[in-house]
Amino acid sequence: MIYWDHNATSPLRPRVKKRMAEALEFETANPNSSHTLGQTARNYIEQARRTIANAIGAKPQELVIGASATECNLMALYGLFLARNKANPQAKKIVASPIEHSSVHENIKILGDRLGAEIVFLKTDRNGIVDLNHLRDLVKDSSVALVSVMGAHNETGVLQPWLEISKICAEQKIPYHCDLVQYFGRFAFNLDQSGVATATVSFHKAGGPKGVSILYIRTGVQCESIICGGGQEKKRRAGTENLLAIMGAEAVCEETEELQKIHQTQIKELRDYFETELTKALPQIEIVGHAANRLCNTSFVVFRGVKSDALMMNLDINGCCVGTGSACGSGMLLPSRTLLALGYSKDDAVSAIRFSFGPSNTLDEVKAILPCIEKAVKKMAAA
């Protein structure tokens, strides 16, 4: 099978597989036990924490190791909201982009239902880029508890001006949370210099393991603990650490520079070739965010007149795995929430496919699959 769904998850890098296989051999004890084997496991975790911190420009003590990006987003949103509320009970507003990943979008809505948070969505342009003047106006209000805007969009790949957002929030002393899940491994970043209050970083979209993710909490930022119980992670996230996954994350962090280079050269060339040839073959398509700064591996394409689930299945039969912008959890084709929020029609929102490339993909794959897409789209659009 040809795999073009790296924004969902990307196969483990060889270095990661090797490190995790090695770790399987010695993974015996709980890193929270005081005996020799427990302390050996602890040392491996602390070594990994230093390597990860170094790769993302943070201090090791600022990293809270969690089990998924969803969990880390939730810990940041609840943690910042509760801390801000404690200091200022009027601080009830959460400012966010309307196209955050569901791990942010759904959880801020739940914060509204459970804790009375008031959600204010930022205006965006057609590419989904937030309006910085709108943000500037909003954060003047001391009832804003926090701001949450992602670094790179999971469907469109469009980048947000997150460093500018961070600056605007810092000037008003409003904590800013940034979901950098799709950013890691594709672009370099330095959390220390970025000014963000909190950030979520995950590894499995860039060939790292699932089952581990990082919540960065800048020194001095107040963020209440949500997952309590054991004293792990300095009481900021209870639960026995997943040593195997943490060591896999360490391995991918050792090659972030190489990964970024592969994305910005080989993968970008491949993606650009794909888009050029696809547009030549099917001029009626729209590549969402085409003119904006985007992740170099992502093409989110609206195939007008074609249902995305049907096209996805057709490509699957032809040996190619791609993602749809529409969630099909119940077997029903749901429109892409992102496209609807950006003003696309409902028909467009059920007609989009996400192609997301990774290091294992080749030009030969693109050349083999392009005619399949063209044939399928022409047949479906004519039906």
Question: Active-site residue numbers?
Answer: 328
Single out the segment in contact with ligand PLP by CB under 6 A; choices: 36-44, 67-75, 162-170, 345-353: 67-75
360: three-class secondary structure by DSSP? coil
Q: Where are the alpha helices (DSSP H) in the chain?
A: 14-26, 36-56, 69-87, 102-115, 132-138, 162-171, 191-194, 232-235, 243-253, 256-262, 268-281, 308-317, 337-341, 346-349, 363-382
By CB under 6 A, residue 206 contacts ligand PLP: no
By CB under 6 A, residue 197 contacts ligand PLP: no
By CB under 6 A, residue 5 contacts ligand PLP: no
Nearer to ligand PLP, 208 or 285 (CB): 208
Smallest distance, ligand PLP to C-beta of residue 181, A = 4
By CB under 6 A, residue 202 contacts ligand PLP: yes
256: three-class secondary structure by DSSP? helix
By CB under 6 A, residue 198 contacts ligand PLP: no
Give the contact letters, 291-310, x = binds to ligand PLP (CB under 6 A), - = no. Answer: --------------------
Please give the residues from 146 up to 175 whose contact with ligand PLP meets the rule CB under 6 A: 150, 154
Q: Which of 10, 70, 260, 336 binds ligand PLP (CB under 6 A)?
A: 70
By CB under 6 A, residue 101 contacts ligand PLP: yes
Nearer to ligand PLP, 69 or 199 (CB): 69
Contact 88, 122 (CB under 8 A): no
Single out the segment in contact with ligand PLP by CB under 6 A; choices: 176-184, 276-284, 299-307, 326-334: 176-184
Give just the sign of the alpha carbon dihedral 182, 342, 103, 221: positive
Chain positions contacting ligand PLP, by CB under 6 A: 68-70, 101, 103, 150, 154, 179, 181-182, 202
